[in-house]
Amino acid sequence: MSYLILIRHGQSTWNLERRFTGWVDVDLTEKGKLEAKKSGDLIKDLKIEIDYYYSSLQLRAINTLKLVQESLNDKQNFTKAWQLNERHYGALTGLNKVEMIKKLGEEKVYQFRRSWDLRPDPLDKQSPFHPSNIDTYKNVQTENIPDTESLKDTFLRVTNYYNEEIKNNLIKGNVLISAHGNSIRALCKYLFRIDEIKISKLEVPTGNPLIIEIDDGQKIKSYKYLDKYRATDLLFF
């Protein structure tokens, strides 16, 4: 038996500003730092050892993981992978969600945010928000840098990485992943076999660890959010 812990990063500066963030590399707010520290404290209370740590390549997930490790007094190295990045929101990147609802309507913006295979228009490669113009991604091969993504696209890269790099380590020990709303949503779809309609309804709160108990046959035995007061009705699968 082993544990898989999934954490969406703490609140970021663009979460606070209600902007589509995607692959843009923004940091945590003070509230986000507190959420990350609390995540670490909740995990510490479990009294289990984390054997493998993973993060996306993005600062908000990396710094969340560092604060979790600080709470756990654990200084071991962790793996950073672009495959665990947030979904790329294409031309919506940087725009305010409230303003876009006023412009396009709530239903259209909801479709862009939550539909399975709808991609926003691609982001102009000359934009300062395009990953090719952000230092974080200078070592990522050009063919792996998207201009836009659907949740389906995100699902494919996240689950491929999970199966190739993470799954076998779950056989050997406990794994913690610090990532993003859509990369965690994609992984939950895969692990819990959620259909393409229901996945749109899955909410992933910031800074609230989801702990999944997995048996030796890689089957899920139990799961729960550690901060139960911020998890009401969030788990429906």
Predicted local distance difference test score (pLDDT) of residue 237:
62
* Cβ 155 vs Cβ 83: under 8 Å: no
Q: How far is CA 111 from CA 63, 105, 182, 219, in A?
A: 30, 10, 14, 32
What is the phi/psi pair of residue 231, to 5°? -130, 15
pLDDT band at 43 (very low <50, low <70, confident <90, very high): very high
- Quick check: 135 and 102 in contact, CB under 8 A? no
The string of pLDDT tens digits covering residues 122-172 is: 999 999 999 999 999 999 999 999 999 999 999 999 999 999 999 999 999
Sign of CA dihedral 105, 106, 108, 109: positive
* pLDDT, tens digit (0-9, with 9 covering 90-100), for 165-199: 999 999 999 999 999 999 999 999 999 999 998 99
Tell me which residues are annotated as active site.
Answer: 9, 86
Boundaries of every domain in the chain: 2-230
The pTM for the full model equals 0.95
Q: How confident is the model at residue 236 (pLDDT cuts 50, 70, 90)?
A: low
CATH architecture of the domain 2-230 equals: 3-Layer(aba) Sandwich (3.40)
pLDDT value for 50: 97
